[in-house]
Amino acid sequence: MELKKLEQSYSIRSYECDKNGQLRLITLMNIFQDMADTHANLMGLGYDFCKERGLAWVGSNYKIQIERMPKWHETITVYTWPCIEKKLGAVRDFEIKDALGNTIIRAASQWILINFAKKRPVALREHLPQYQILEERAIDEDFIKIEDVEEITDENVFNVRFDDIDLNKHVNNALYLLWASETVDNAFRETHLPQEVEIAFKKEGLFGEKVKVETQTSSTISRHSIKSMTDNRELAKVQIKWTSL
């Protein structure tokens, strides 16, 4: 079967928006996950297929570039496709357009194929020989190495709730960006919007843990180290570039 981009329309609902009527960051991440899951299923490589073979797709990186966030009542069209094959995983890109066909968000995501029981990466081509890609990019850039938080300007603690856990039995990836943005000073958030986001997922977060977010905000860049307070392991790093309203 010839591989094609997955295209799907979304109408933005009130409960998906923040107090200013713009799409929440966590909802944007959930849309990306929904599109990736749907397309993987259509490709015959989705959750059920992988589970039967003791495999799982695990997100390792996201890069998101935001021209503007969609608003309440707006209808957007989301596109996704696998664009790069790697030895142990793959890169999947996303593009979001408004009703006039203008691209308002671009994103790239990196996924690792693992042996679920051993929690170890496995060779993509060896386990999924039918994997296909489209050699087109939404973002023609590599994922950056996010620098460490050196001076903590803000800090917050979150409890990992029952509803934060996904089908793979760990914290859903969308939560890390939410936790990071929630730890930025409120006064700063009132006058700034996210423009670029980088996320590097490191370790699994588990139900019942307390998670500490250490944040360093300097000018228009915030960096975040998200750690389990159980054993201080780093779960994720996030960097957000903000733009003034």
Comparison of pLDDT for 130 and 137, the residue scoring more: 137
**Res 130: pLDDT:** 86
Q: Over range 2-26, report the average pLDDT.
A: 96
Reported pTM: 0.95
Q: Over range 140-146, report the average pLDDT.
A: 94
Indicate whether 88 pLDDT > 80: yes
Q: Over range 120-129, report the average pLDDT.
A: 92
Note whether 59 and 173 are within 8 A (CB): yes
Note whether 94 and 106 are within 8 A (CB): yes
Indicate whether 1 pLDDT > 90: no
pLDDT tens figures, 173-207: 999 999 999 999 999 999 999 999 999 999 999 99
Question: Please, what are the domains in the chain?
Answer: 6-127 (3.10.129.10), 154-244 (3.10.129.10)
**Res 203: pLDDT:** 95
Q: Over range 71-87, report the average pLDDT.
A: 97
**Res 36: pLDDT:** 96
pLDDT tens figures, 25-70: 999 999 999 999 999 999 988 889 999 999 999 999 999 999 999 9
Q: Over range 140-154, report the average pLDDT.
A: 95
CA angle at 36 for the pair 167 and 90, rounded to the nearest 5°: 100
**Res 120: pLDDT:** 93
pLDDT tens figures, 196-245: 999 999 999 999 999 999 999 999 999 999 999 999 999 999 999 999 98
pLDDT tens figures, 89-124: 999 999 999 999 999 999 999 999 999 999 899 999
How far apart CA 171 and CA 164 sit, in angstroms, is 5
93 token code pair: 């890109």
What whole-number percentage of the chain has pLDDT above 70?
Answer: 100
Note whether 222 and 215 are within 8 A (CB): yes
**Res 68: pLDDT:** 97
Q: Over range 159-167, report the average pLDDT.
A: 96
Indicate whether 149 pLDDT > 80: yes
What letter would DSSP give residue 25?
Answer: H
Residues of 188-199 as b/e, b for ≥16 C-beta within 10 angstroms? eeeebebbbbbb
Average pLDDT across the chain, whole number = 95
By CB neighbour count within 10 A (0-12 exposed, 13-18 middle, 19+ buried), where does 121 fall? middle
